[in-house]
Homo-oligomer: A and B are copies of this chain.
Amino acid sequence: MSLALPDDGKPVRRTAILDAAEAQFAQHGYDGVNLRAIARDAGVDVALANYHFGKKRDLFDAVLMRRAEVLNAWRLKALEDALSEARPNPPSVEAIVRAYLRPLLTGSHVTEPGWKHYYALIAYVNNSTEWGGKLMTQFFDPLIIQFIDALRLSLGGVDEKALYWSYHCFSGALTLTFAETGRIDLLSKGLCHSDDLAGAYEHVVRFITAGFESIRPT
């Protein structure tokens, strides 16, 4: 069963362009990609990308937006579940961290290459000095604020700066891990594997949870 992506169904060429662009942008970055390569991978003419999405930059935004909406919905659902399960108490830090991470791994999309490309793309955007700040804010912050609210509640009277910097560390660790750059494979001499996200999951949850817990007021 296919995912309920906004443009499922008829416009098969439109989706093919998005998929090809997603893969290319993820692998080579915005400037490392040319529209002819995207069109070739999608099996369409160069001009068609322009017809459907306008300029190259608009195509990039469209790629980013498509799965952002889906991912945000999944994460919101996971957060609400965690909140209602713990009610009337706030959920544990670990439960919140898991609510943030689990949607990246569960469901039918774990093996779908499109999502893996998307994760790499997010890492690229998040670490970009050009539009890193603005684009991440635009697409993800409304939801992230809710997660930070939940963390604040769970930790109780925490220092605000410490809270934001902790999330920042979380964000960096997460995007790098899901980008699957192959770095940990080389560093660990084959012991760990970048593409084993399920194996990385518990380690990341533990590391991040402990980081957040360290700012809990005593």
In chain A between 156 and 207, which residues have their CB closer than 8 angstroms to a CB of chain B? 160-162, 164-177, 179-188, 191-192, 194, 199-200, 203-204, 206-207
For A175, the chain B residues whose CB sits under 8 A away are: 127, 172, 176
The distance in angstroms between the C-alpha atoms of A57 and B127, with both chains bound, is 21
Residue on B nearest A132 in the bound complex, by CB: B181
The distance in angstroms between the C-alpha atoms of A215 and B209, with both chains bound, is 12
For A200, the chain B residues whose CB sits under 8 A away are: 165, 168
Residue on B nearest A180 in the bound complex, by CB: B129
Q: How large is the interface on A (under 10, 10 to 19, 20 to 34, 35 or more residues)?
A: 35 or more
Specify which of B165, B181, B213 is in contact with A184 (CB 8 Å cutoff): B165
Q: Is the CB of A126 within 8 A of B176?
A: yes
A66 at the binding interface (Cβ < 8 Å): no
The distance in angstroms between the C-alpha atoms of A45 and B186, with both chains bound, is 39
For A30, the chain B residues whose CB sits under 8 A away are: 29, 32
The distance in angstroms between the C-alpha atoms of A199 and B161, with both chains bound, is 9
A8 at the binding interface (Cβ < 8 Å): no
Q: Is the CB of A182 within 8 A of B141?
A: no
Q: Is the CB of B170 within 8 A of A137?
A: no
Per-residue contact bits, chain A 118-154, to B (CB 8 Å; 1 contact, 0 not) = 0010011011111011101100010011000000000
Q: Is the CB of B133 within 8 A of A129?
A: no
A43 at the binding interface (Cβ < 8 Å): no
For A31, the chain B residues whose CB sits under 8 A away are: 28-29, 31-32
A residues lining the B interface (CB < 8 Å):
26-32, 120, 123-124, 126-130, 132-134, 136-137, 141, 144-145, 160-162, 164-177, 179-188, 191-192, 194, 199-200, 203-204, 206-215
For the complex with contacts A161-B191, A165-B200, 15 further pairs of A-B residues with Cβ separation under 8 Å are A29-B29, A29-B31, A32-B130, A120-B129, A126-B127, A133-B186, A137-B186, A144-B187, A161-B199, A161-B203, A166-B203, A168-B200, A169-B173, A208-B211, A211-B211
